[in-house]
Amino acid sequence: MSTVRLGDRLSSHQPLVLGLFRIVLGLLFTSEGAATVFGVLGRRSSPTGDWPFWYAGVIELVCGALVLLGVATRSAAFLSSGIMAFAYFTEHQKDGLFPLQNGGLSPALFCWGFLLLVFFGPGALALSGLVRRGGTRSSARPVPGQVR
């Protein structure tokens, strides 16, 4: 009987879980953008060209789709993280210090989630990794010092 540590077993699934995290985050962000730009999902659209809301919606839609698919993930995640930090500090921070006070929980979580993808990459199931490698291998690299 093999005595594989739990940490090692969990680490072996890290690229897949990171890929699933990226897909869910991208889908949620894309839906936010679609709601803002097209007025779907029970939300009214922002008037075309309305600063900053319509432009933020376009960025959410495009970058969310890129993150969802795993194409140019780090760049799209960097821009998404920045736009969410901007949204938090310009629209929410004035109403209170904490996200639960000022209604900025979504921008705060999106900001930090995308920042995670900037540093860790797309994980498994990324379209760019599948096309580049011509197969289904993981596109995530192991974390330095991590036991595989």
Residue 145 clears pLDDT 80, i.e. is over it: no
pLDDT of residue 139: 46
- Predicted TM-score (pTM) of the model is 0.85
Average pLDDT over residues 26-41: 97
pLDDT of residue 140: 52
Average pLDDT over residues 75-88: 98
- What whole-number distance in Å separates Cα of residue 103 and Cα of residue 135? 43
Residue 142 clears pLDDT 80, i.e. is over it: no
pLDDT of residue 4: 79
To 5 degrees, how large is the angle CA 111–CA 116–CA 122?
Answer: 115
pLDDT of residue 72: 97
Residue 1 clears pLDDT 60, i.e. is over it: no
Cβ neighbourhood burial of 132 (10 Å; 0-12, 13-18, 19+): exposed
pLDDT of residue 57: 97
pLDDT of residue 141: 56
Query: Which tokens go with 134?
Result: 């011509």
- Tokens 């894309």 sit on residue: 30
